[in-house]
Structure 1
Amino acid sequence: MMRHYFFNAMLSAEQCYSYYRGDVKYVVVTADSGERIQLQFRHFQPFVGVSGIRGRFRLTLDNNAAFISLEKIN
């Protein structure tokens, strides 16, 4: 059974740059359910724009909490 988590993410361009430099490897978000989730920044890379990352996302994990997908939903 897959689990879905919904959350908003906002990272400035400067914050994204620190991830690209390798200073920080993980992004911690709080899902709508209140759960804190740690994700590798590489999962967010397709969503980085000139001003950083901004949007609403859906994270899908399998029943072992392994990453399946991260989608921007708006």
Structure 2
Amino acid sequence: MRRYFFNASLSAEQCYGYYRGDIKYVVVTADNGERIQLQFRHFQRYVDINGLRGRFRLTLADNASFVALEKIN
């Protein structure tokens, strides 16, 4: 398993573009400098009226498949 830590911040307006289906992926930069592309659907439960803000831990299997995304702060 591989774990990545990163901060994410999207305004409510930006999130609306994802909900409309205009955009499907979010690109984040992990603390180690790696850029990671994730489907927006993994973030949906963390979106509120202000958008998306927080610190996250992404867990991937050894074959790079998605395991979990957790908001840690």
What's the TM-score, normalizing by structure 2? 0.99
Unaligned runs of 5+ in 2: none
Hey, what's the Cα distance between the residues in 2 that align with 1:49 and 1:20?
13
Identify the residue that residue 14 of structure 1 maps to in structure 2.
13
- Structure 2: how far apart are the matches of 1:11 and 1:39? 14
Length-normalised TM-score, structure 1: 0.98
- Structure 1 runs of 4+ aligned residues shifted over 3 Å read none
Query: Which residue is 2:28 aligned to?
Result: 29
Q: When the two structures are aligned, how many residues end up with a matched partner?
A: 73
1:14-56 CA deviation, whole Å, 9 max, x = no partner? 0000000000000000000000000000000000011000000
Q: Distance in 1 between matches of 2:71 and 2:33?
A: 19
Q: Give me the whole-angstrom Cα distance separating, in 1, the residues matched to 2:64 and 2:13.
A: 30
Sequence identity (%):
78
The CA RMSD measured in Å over matched residues stands at 0.2
Q: Which runs of 5 or more residues in structure 1 are unaligned? A: none
